[in-house]
Amino acid sequence: MLYNKTIAFLGAGSMAEAMISGLVKSGEIPAEQIIATNRSNQERLTALESNYGIKGVKRENLQFDQIDIFILAMKPKDVDNALNDIKSHIKPNQLILSVLAGITTSYLEQNLHKGQQVVRVMPNTSSTIGESATAISPGHETADENVKLTKILLECIGEVYKIEEKDMDIFTGLAGSGPAYFYYLMEHMEQQGVLAGLNIETTRQIIAQTIVGAAKMIQKQDKTPTVLRENVTSPNGTTAAGLDALDENGGGIAISKAVEHAAKRSKEISEQIQESLLVGSLK
Ligand SMILES: NC(=O)C1=CN([C@@H]2O[C@H](COP(=O)(O)OP(=O)(O)OC[C@H]3O[C@@H](n4cnc5c(N)ncnc54)[C@H](OP(=O)(O)O)[C@@H]3O)[C@@H](O)[C@H]2O)C=CC1
Ligand SMILES: O=C(O)[C@@H]1CCC=N1
């Protein structure tokens, strides 16, 4: 289904690169059928070409009629310019995927053609190695075969969850932004390892393996995080001391707030774009 498709990323930043890397590594789609374009950064396109074997194409040289799937991958504040730019070149039956946080399918539909095939997508940067947790929510007019095609494409970069669009904000707070919380946690754990005299590279690998192990326990065993946490925690032992410190310092609340605020920001972006306030708020 993917082999003869041509895919163009409009936006060639971090998220586009993560997806390109995962797609190329999957081997499910030939690299030369993946195109990336941006506003002006030619050096960036050249780097993507040489690193992944894809085609970096200047916007003015993009042949819209030869592209099956467009992936919008610019910042939300740039979406209006991008939609204005592409509208006159695309047809309603061309599939538009958008990875933009907070930009709704209704907004995309209002600003493209009647009947435009759109799917809102929320991947994360673990797409790079085929380990994303990606959500999809199709637009109101999107044909089932295009939803299926989207799912097949995104399964090349990890697990795919079809969700209702009202749940996209919380999904973004959990999984789109989620890797950053774990990196933040790792940064702080790493500092302590180094402070205690461990080598930084060794510390990093120890922490990474600890996180991988904990995540795989959830995936492979039918046990809740609460039960697994209790299994680690001996009465009056080391873990109890660590967890007490987390509680005393608001660790649990901080994690809840991180997810809540990220989801809230996603919702806020949706509201601001409708009121045309986004460009000012996200310079
Ligand atoms: N980073 C992440 O972890 C995730 C990001 N997202 C979403 O992905 C999107 C991109 O984020 P990210 O990659 O971090 O951003 P970056 O700033 O790294 O990249 C943005 C890219 O968009 C390009 N661009 C801007 N305007 C246009 C346009 N009109 N046409 C074509 N290209 C354009 C820029 O080109 P130039 O350099 O030439 O200006 C640049 O290549 C955001 O909407 C974000 O919400 C979603 C999930 C996770
Ligand atoms: O920070 C952001 O807005 C984007 C969306 C999800 C992850 N990064």
Band of pLDDT at residue 275, cut at 50, 70 and 90: confident
If you average pLDDT over residues 209-228, what whole number do you get? Answer: 98
Residue 282 has pLDDT above 60, yes or no: no
Two tokens at 87?
């509208």
pLDDT digits 0-9 by tens, 152-200: 999 999 999 999 999 999 999 999 999 999 999 999 999 999 999 999 9
Q: How far is the CA of 177 from the centre of ligand 2 (A)?
A: 5
Band of pLDDT at residue 280, cut at 50, 70 and 90: low
If you average pLDDT over residues 124-152, what whole number do you get? Answer: 98
How confident is the model at residue 105, as a pLDDT? 98
Question: Among candidates 236, 232, 52, 191, which has minimal Cα distance to 127?
Answer: 52
Q: In DSSP terms, which residues pair with 144 in a beta bridge? A: none
| 75, 126, 279, best to mutate for ligand 1 pocket (most atoms within 8 Å of CB) | 75
Q: How many residues does the chain have?
A: 283
Domain borders along the chain are 7-168, 178-261
How confident is the model at residue 239, as a pLDDT? 98
Band of pLDDT at residue 279, cut at 50, 70 and 90: low
The protein residue with its alpha carbon nearest to ligand 2, atom 7, reads 177
How confident is the model at residue 283, as a pLDDT? 45
How confident is the model at residue 1, as a pLDDT? 85
If you average pLDDT over residues 248-265, what whole number do you get? Answer: 98
The protein residue with its alpha carbon nearest to ligand 2, atom 3, reads 101
Domain at 178-261: CATH code: 1.10.3730.10
Which ligand has the shortest distance to the CA of 15? 1
pLDDT digits 0-9 by tens, 30-49: 999 999 999 999 999 999 99
The chain-wide mean pLDDT, for the chain, equals 96
Band of pLDDT at residue 123, cut at 50, 70 and 90: very high
Q: Is 101 in the pocket of ligand 2 (CB under 6 A)?
A: yes
ipTM over 0.90: yes
Distances (CA, A) of 71 to 56, 121, 244, 246: 14, 9, 45, 41
Residues above pLDDT 90, as percent of the chain: 96
**Site residues for ligand 1, CB cut-off 6 Å:** 10-16, 37-41, 73-76, 78, 81-82, 85, 99-101, 122-125, 176
CATH topology of domain 7-168: Rossmann fold (3.40.50)
Indicate the burial class of 50 (C-beta count within 10 angstroms; 0-12, 13-18, 19 or more). Answer: exposed
How confident is the model at residue 277, as a pLDDT? 66
Residue 6 has pLDDT above 70, yes or no: yes
| 9, 14, 70, 97, best to mutate for ligand 1 pocket (most atoms within 8 Å of CB) | 14
| 172, 174, 261, 266, best to mutate for ligand 2 pocket (most atoms within 8 Å of CB) | 172
